[in-house]
Amino acid sequence: MEIEKVWAVCYSATGTTEKVVMAVAETLARKIGKPLETVNISAPAEREKERSFTATDLLVIGTPTYAGRVPNKMLPYFQTKLTGNGALAVPVVLFGNRSFDNSLEELCAELESHGFHTVAAAAFVGQHAFASKLAPGRPDAEDIVRAEGFAEKVAEKVQTLTELSAPIQVPGDPAAPYYTPLGVDGQPAKFLKAKPLTDLDKCTKCGLCAAVCPVGSIDPADVASVPGVCIKCQACVVKCPTGAKYFDDPAFLSHKAMLEANYTRRAEIGLFL
């Protein structure tokens, strides 16, 4: 099929999803010999823009996995702001070493229902935003090599297509419930209302935490105040240059401890072609 442009579209609060999406998209663009355009929807303003594509576009569309699904605050973007018009798509999810559960199937289904044709899909592993002991440093060099190899196979598939193939098949159930976080006692860990705290002795009031919050919930005039909803993405924690942001909610910390006790093995990525 004739492709005129490759796109990299992603939500990536802490940068790990973006790293994988860019590795795939850059390799695709190079192998096909077409220009690459990037769209990062992590900032709220970017998710207000509607984008329409054509049958000559090839998109790599990525999101992290939250509780086994596409993040519920990002789902409306995929449902209402992207129109495929026959564009080819490669859905990509990133998961924090536990499981991608139903997130990839959900993303595939949403794209197919909005005019995209999925030709391949992938689930990669990234360092868990909650717990640095889970997949530390991933995606690592090995993951990037595999991402690039995957992209080369996608390029070959796309260039040899003479007609649209059936939608890519991936494991999962888009109608399944969200994963229930558990604490070290095996009981549900309820930390929905937990918000980041600020160590005022470390905080320099640079405002970076407010700028990187993907839902705009931190008050830029008083960064210790979080009047909006917190989606626990950890962008403010990970990107604070002085380490001033942290969570101390007991249920949150119990869930983190449970993850660190049970999911430190090197999880496998999933590639679907």
pLDDT in tens, 32-78: 999 999 999 999 999 999 999 999 999 999 999 999 999 999 999 99
Question: Is 197-248 a domain of CATH 3.40.50?
Answer: no
DSSP letter (8 states) at residue 188: B
- pLDDT tens digits, residue range 114-154? 999 999 999 999 999 999 899 999 999 999 999 999 999 99
Spatial separation of the C-alpha atoms in residues 101 and 266, rounded to whole Å: 16
- pLDDT tens digits, residue range 156-178? 999 999 888 899 999 998 788 99
Residue 21: φ, ψ to 5°: -60, -45
Homologous superfamily, domain 5-177+265-272: Flavodoxin domain (3.40.50.360)
pTM, two decimal places: 0.96
Question: Taking the CA of residue 188 as centre, how many other CA atoms within 13 Å lie in the half-sphere pointing to its CB?
Answer: 7
Segment 203-210 mean pLDDT: 97
Give the start-to-end residue ranges of the domains of the chain.
Answer: 5-177+265-272, 197-248
pLDDT at 99 > cutoff 90: yes
pLDDT at 27 > cutoff 80: yes
Residue 221: φ, ψ to 5°: -85, -20
Mean pLDDT of the chain: 97
Task: Output the pLDDT for position 270.
Answer: 98
Specify whether the CB–CB gap between 222 and 209 falls below 8 A.
no
Segment 14-21 mean pLDDT: 97
Segment 10-20 mean pLDDT: 97
Spatial separation of the C-alpha atoms in residues 28 and 43, rounded to whole Å: 25
pLDDT at 17 > cutoff 90: yes
The percentage of residues in the chain with a pLDDT greater than 90, rounded to a whole number, is 95
Specify whether the CB–CB gap between 61 and 24 falls below 8 A.
no
Spatial separation of the C-alpha atoms in residues 131 and 101, rounded to whole Å: 19
Spatial separation of the C-alpha atoms in residues 206 and 170, rounded to whole Å: 43
Spatial separation of the C-alpha atoms in residues 19 and 64, rounded to whole Å: 11
Segment 208-231 mean pLDDT: 97
Which residues lie below 8 Å from residue 43, measured CB to CB, with a gap of 6+? 214
Task: Output the pLDDT for position 175.
Answer: 82
